[in-house]
Amino acid sequence: MYRDPYSERRSATRLASGNSLFIGIVLLLALIAALELFLIHRMENAGYKVSAPVAPGGSAAMAGDGQEDGASPDQQGLAAAGKQSDTWMLVLVNEANPMPEDYAVRLVNIRSGLQIDERALGPLNQMLSAARMEGKSPLVASAFRSVERQQELYDDKVNRLMASGMGRAQAELDAAKEVAYPGTSEHHLGLAVDVVDYRHQRLDESQEDTEVNQWLRMYCHDYGFVLRYPQDKVEVTGVVYEPWHFRYVGISAAQTMVQLNLCLEEYLEMLREGFG
């Protein structure tokens, strides 16, 4: 039988091309899978819990907000949140609740001289990046603060009040309203950040008028942060109004607190009363 060498060469060429295409597709799929695993690893390290794939006809489990033991409150309701109220992101530190002695702070650098708990770094960077994409200029002015540094700030405030003529006892009481007593500051947790407008770097009430602050108030809860010391919650928090102070509590808690107009003390009390 006659065999056309040219046809055979074309068949061989098509076979080689087909094999090359198949190998290329396999390599591309492997690369995509490796990239997905890398992104999942990065997200989990940043404090996120990645949801499982959705089965046909099923519903997606919502991605968690950094809780380390169990489903997020979005998945199982506030009852689940009540069980999680003692996790790292919801630790309450104030005058009545000093920093737990066994609390482990996992610090990572934000920029020179500033650190934050590594589990809140991802959400913080996402929030600041989103603000910058909207043309804002947020600047983290303060983050983690050691007890020793807090002592220096507190003593300085007391001394300045005394220099104005106030007695020490009263100066110490008044100083604690603006500068947390050492061991009772949220900054010890590494979950609180003071964020200002780069063009207006003042830690006073005028910060609320800046574009950065107004943007943060509107969107911070989408990234798991809340304005920790609102003006209408001074009697509850025991801390003066601080429009620059934002605290990471996780997305579920932050959204609930904003929806119900709760500060952290009220949110934790609601969990205790409803699901304790």
Domain map (residue ranges) of the chain = 18-48, 75-141+192-275, 146-184
Q: What SS3 state is found at 140? A: strand
Q: How far apart are CA 263 and CA 229, in angstroms?
A: 7
Do residues 175 and 122 lie in contact, with contact meaning Cβ atoms separated by under 8 Å? no
> Pairing relation of β-strands 225-229 and 242-248?
antiparallel
The structure tokens listed for 29 are: 């799929």
- For position 176, what pLDDT does the model report? 82
pLDDT < 70: residue spans in the chain? 1-86, 275-276
pLDDT of residue 180: 82
* Phi, psi (deg, nearest 5) at residue 103: -75, 130
| pLDDT on residue 44 | 42
Q: Which two tokens stand for residue 144?
A: 């983690």
One-letter identity of residue 262: L
Q: Are 271 and 85 in contact (CB under 8 A)?
A: yes
Q: How far is residue 59 from each of residues 51, 54, 62, measured CA to CA in Å?
A: 11, 6, 9
pTM over 0.75: no
pLDDT at 155: 92
Cα–Cα distance measured from residue 70 to residue 50, given in angstroms and rounded to the nearest whole number: 12
132 Cβ contact partners less than 8 Å away, ≥ 6 residues apart: 138
CA distance 110 to 143: 9
Closest to 46 measured CA to CA, from 147, 99, 116, 139: 116
CATH entry, 75-141+192-275, from 3.20.20.300, 3.90.1150.10, 3.30.1380.10, 3.40.50.1400: 3.30.1380.10
Q: 201, 219, 185: which is closest to 91 by C-alpha?
A: 185
pLDDT the model gives residue 38: 47
Q: How long a stretch of residues is the chain?
A: 276
Tell me what pLDDT residue 149 has.
86
What pLDDT is stored for residue 27 in this prediction? 61
pLDDT in tens, 155-174: 999 999 999 999 999 988 88
Q: What pLDDT is attached to residue 275?
A: 57
d(CA 219, CA 228): 14
Q: Which of 8, 68, 242, 265 is catalytic?
A: 242
How many Cα atoms within 13 Å fall on the side-chain side of residue 70? 15
Look at residue 28 in the predicted model and tell me its pLDDT: 56
Active site residue 242: yes
DSSP, collapsed to helix, strand or coil, labels residue 235 as helix
Quote the pLDDT of residue 31. Answer: 57
